[in-house]
Amino acid sequence: MTRGTARQRRRAIRQGLAVMTAATLALFATLWLAFQHRPGWYRPSPADEVTVHRAQAESAGVADTVSRQMVEGAAFELVVADRAVNEWLAALPVLWPDARAWFPEQFKAPAVSFDDGVVRLGGHVEHDGWKVVASIGLRLALSEGGEYLTLALHDVRGGSLPLPRATVRAWLGPFLDSVRREEWSDEVTSDPVSAAFRRVHDVDDLYRGVQVPNRFVWPNGERPFRVTAVRVEGGELRLGIRPL
């Protein structure tokens, strides 16, 4: 090998390393910006007086309407907008202070989105100096015969960045273990959703989907019902309901 050839090879190696370093830094910067990005779907409502009053009136109106239709006994469609749910979430700690305990202290300003078949719930999380909008996406579907309502984990995101399943497993695994070990009251264990999630063994079960028996009870009047259809699109969750 001549001296000139060796020099060209070293130059090529240096150039290749420079390109690889630049590409790695660009990738890291892109991932970091995606992780820190505030997603467009995340629109929490302010807990101002107008929002609280509207949320209280709308939630009462929806509850009264559903109760009346349950009593009438005919099948109907329940339509819930994510805008309304976000106002309910903002107003909840004001109308019901005990609801603050439902979310971890580091989890602020929760919001939901109903679009593209995914129910997304997220909030602003601050922990050990990190600040990010963290969210989970869920898909809802009926089994072929309609006996079960399946809730499947679609993804977990930090900002706009979907997190690898290994990361999700490391984060949620200890939580699932604690849920299985915890002692629950008879009221909770009789709830079909709670009972189904207590049978989850690992995060992979969540991705495959948790099957909940398709028989629920409307609390006002203790009226049982089934879900006959599920649609999540355009900012709305649409549920077909048939009283039993």
Q: Do 135 and 157 touch, CB atoms closer than 8 A?
A: yes
| Res 202: pLDDT | 81
Task: Answer whether residue 31 shows pLDDT above 90.
Answer: no
The pTM (predicted TM-score) of the whole model is: 0.78
165-180: average pLDDT: 74
* pLDDT bucket at 21, cuts 50 / 70 / 90: very low
Residue 152: what are its φ and ψ, rounded to 5°? Answer: -120, 140
Domain regions of the chain by residue span: 1-36, 38-243
Burial of 153 (0-12, 13-18, 19+ CB in 10 A): buried
Task: Answer whether residue 48 shows pLDDT above 60.
Answer: yes
Task: Answer whether residue 205 shows pLDDT above 90.
Answer: no
**Could you report the per-residue pLDDT of 184-193, keeping only the tens digit for each?**
554 444 566 6
| Res 184: pLDDT | 52
Which of helix, strand or coil describes residue 120?
strand
| Res 94: pLDDT | 83
**Which stretch, 140-154, 158-172, 187-201, has highest mean pLDDT?**
140-154
**Could you report the per-residue pLDDT of 63-111, keeping only the tens digit for each?**
899 999 999 999 999 999 999 999 999 888 888 877 777 777 777 888 9
| Res 23: pLDDT | 44
Which of helix, strand or coil describes residue 68?
helix
* pLDDT bucket at 12, cuts 50 / 70 / 90: low
